[in-house]
Chains A and B, each alone.
Chain A
């Protein structure tokens, strides 16, 4: 979600440079992404660790706009696929930065939320912040996660670019904090392509110190 803001930054950065904009793929220079290698890494607020089955790309967070508990990864670019980690989101916090006065808001998390409430929060996230015009819940079911009673949420949504995207989130509330791994990708090809990665990452997830 944080990359909504990056678009504006990117815009201003690029428009000031003449000629250099049709750049090369040197692999150097400014990029908002850093590599995630195949080893145990911590995500979000560092209380959650995971292992990816192959290298992914991590979106660099910005301390002003980003919620510390949230971290985004992608394989082919966020337009096509991505994983959002929520690790240790506290009571009364939202998964995105927003002002109290915004008309449309993503509901804040509450420690006593049940899975349908958390999934409703995710639905509003897509509707309010990602321009989803249609959103379908495909399934909410119990699923163990981080050694506790968690849930799995399957959904799909039609966005403003006319593309259907599909997603799965696995989460649990541990000690009053939200832990969630959410995968969202273009429904055509991309969702199926990286679903095994997502499942492996979920299976590898562990809380630090447990």
Chain B
């Protein structure tokens, strides 16, 4: 219970694999939102940088800004096809009736839950009690309260990084782990990479109903995957991540039976 290794391993795995993959999990009872639903997208975490010949990543302000705009536009366009009302907030204090601290608590729990999902659903550390049970994690009452206070039906957490560590993670690292004294003043390993994940939380129940990871990577600098700074690249990413949202196992089986 003292270990959180998932994100590190996930990130490391990306650097050596040369392909694009997605794999989604859903609650067995999950039905993709349709019709007149209200979706809250919380602080999309987007970073884009360019890779130098030495393997270092150079954060590019213009690219990140471009990618952020593209991704937000792509999410709006994509969700509009389903009939949803989408609100995208960029800062913790932008939600009326919810304090920055309350939102921060939800985000922190979501981060830990996301790690657990990645480690136990994607990285091979399967939990026997959760085998063949779809996605079975929750954010509990904190998320339900968020829904009650804001009137949203779903919250979408989105993380997209193209080669650079995102601001939030850096902050956590510096403060929490205090990287330097631990002996990890180490630079990143080179290689073109893109890592995106998204989770959808039902704010009526608090359950994480759907989770998806996209990773695209190559060992060879110069090979480009879904460049987020182009509208097409961002749309492709959003489509890979959110576009093919599938219902849960129980729902699919019921549909099949009909």
Contact = CB atoms under 8 A, between A and B. Distances in A.
Direct interface between A and B, CB < 8 A? yes
Interface of A: 1, 3-4, 6-8, 10-11, 13-19, 21-27, 29-35, 54-57, 72, 74-84, 126, 129-131, 133, 159-163, 184, 186, 188-190, 193
Contacts of A16: 16
Given A7-B4, A76-B137, A188-B140, A15 B122 contact: no
A4 B182 CA distance: 14
10 contacts: A15-B16, A26-B126, A55-B129, A57-B127, A76-B127, A76-B137, A78-B3, A79-B115, A163-B111, A163-B112
B17 interface: yes
Specify which of A21, A24, A57, A82 lies most central, judged by the most chain B CB atoms within 10 Å of its CB: A21
B12 interface: yes
Contacts of B206: 189
Nearest to B138: A189
Contacts of B125: 10, 31-33
B101 to A, nearest CB: 11
B2 interface: yes
Contacts of A13: 124
B34 interface: no
Nearest to B134: A25
Interface string B119-150: 11111111111111000011111100000000
B188 interface: no
A146 B22 CA distance: 50
A77 B128 CA distance: 11
A123 B1 CA distance: 15
Given A21-B123, A189-B140, A161 B111 contact: yes
A83 B30 CA distance: 30
B43 to A, nearest CB: 15
Contact of B129 (A56, A126, A160): A56
